[in-house]
Structure 1
Amino acid sequence: MTSVNLLLLAGTLVVMALALYALSLWRRVWAQQRDRQQAEQQRRERLAGDLQILAGSLLDGQLPLIEGAIRIKVLLDNYDSALSQDSRCQVFHLLFEATAQVPTHASWKALELTERRQHEKHFNELELQHKAAARTAARWLLDEGLKRTGS
């Protein structure tokens, strides 16, 4: 064999080795993409299930309206921002914003009783004002909203 033939053979082997290496790297990329898509699908299914439970609990009266609206709004934001911004879901945003300044957990327990009662009075007023709209929104989510987004 001549040196030219040896160089061509060596070059061909290097190109083939690099091609095989590139193919193995692409397979890893495709596997990672598939794994990410599966993880995202599982996350969406979990969130959709949680939203169905919350909306159903709100409708059944097993969940206080204000708490349910806040939880639904937060999950909707994480599930599908377009669905969250749908006009039929705005009552959840309204209730979330109307109660955003209210302390939670240990801070709630640390409040004076009179302060707590003021917040509770505000909650009752909000509930009277928005209960029908929140129930309508929860029903729409169960019947149409979550089904449209592919849950």
Structure 2
Amino acid sequence: MHAVTLSLLLAGLLLIAALAAYAWHLWRRVWARQQAQEEARQERQERLGGDLNILASSLLDEQLPLIEGAIRIKVLLDNYDRDLSNDSRCQVFHLLFEATTDVPTHAAWKALDKEQRRRFEKRFNELELQHKAAARTAARWLLDDGLKRTQPNA
């Protein structure tokens, strides 16, 4: 009976050791996956930050139409940093985005007749006259301060 008990104890210890090794293996996979996800998140943030820099610079250099630039900046800001997007200095981007939500895009824009396009373009011009200075100020702030304070290790 002593040999049977010793054998069962040894088998139990081997089973516990095997399960512990398997659990360790699974935890290592979890940690590796978490690290890969964090690296992907950081790369995404860097890419979005770079895209925001390009858009803000292009808006300031007038290489990008104001309305289009404001819409793109707003969407990227929402994905980059919700707090930064909601900063009062960025509200002009939200305002222009909301003011143009009913404007058709892509194929739907091409399908509009000339009169409908002119009405939208007239509204774009009015919005640009009304908000150009604020949009440029917001873009300058993003480049000078806003994006720098949200960058990792900055």
Report TM bin, short chain: over 0.9
Q: Which amino acid aligns with 1:75?
A: L
Letter in 1 for 2:70: A
Deviation at 1:4, TM superposition (A): 1.4
Cα distance, 1:23 vs. partner? 0.1
Partner of 2:20: 19
Match of 1:118 in 2: 119
Letter in 2 for 1:5: L
In structure 1, the partner of 2:75 is 74
Q: TM-score, normalised by structure 1?
A: 0.97
**Structure 1 residue 125, shift from structure 2 partner:** 0.6
Q: Matched residue of 1:62: which SS?
A: coil
Q: Report deviation, 1:84.
A: 0.7
Q: How does 1:2-151 map to 2 (within 5 A)?
A: 2-150=3-151
| Cα distance in 1, alignment partners of residues 33 and 54 from structure 2 | 31
Long gaps (5+) in structure 1: none
CA distance in 2, matches of 1:13, 1:85: 57
Deviation at 1:82, TM superposition (A): 1.2
Structure 1 position 7, deviation (Å): 1.3
Q: TM-score w.r.t. structure 2 length?
A: 0.95
Q: Deviations over 1:131-151 (max 9, x none)?
A: 010001001111111111115
Structure 1 residue 105: Cα displacement: 1.1
Distance in 2 between the 1:105 and 1:16 partners?
62
Alpha-carbon distance in 2 for matches of 1:15, 1:134? 64
How far apart, CA to CA, are the structure 2 residues paired with 1:91 and 1:50? 19
Once the 2 structures are TM-superposed, how far is the Cα of residue 35 of structure 1 from its aligned partner? 0.5
Give, as a single letter, the amino acid of the residue that structure 1 aligns with 2:44.
Answer: R
Q: What RMSD in Å do the two structures reach over aligned CA positions?
A: 1.0
What is the CA-CA distance between 1:87 and the residue it aligns to? 0.7
Please identify runs of 4+ aligned residues in structure 1 that moved more than 6 A: none
Deviation string 1:43-76 (CA, Å, 9 cap, x unpaired) is: 1110000000000000001000000000000111
Offset from partner CA, 1:88-123 (integer Å, 9 cap, x none):
110000000001101111111111111111111110
- Separation of aligned partners in 1, 2:33 and 2:107: 42
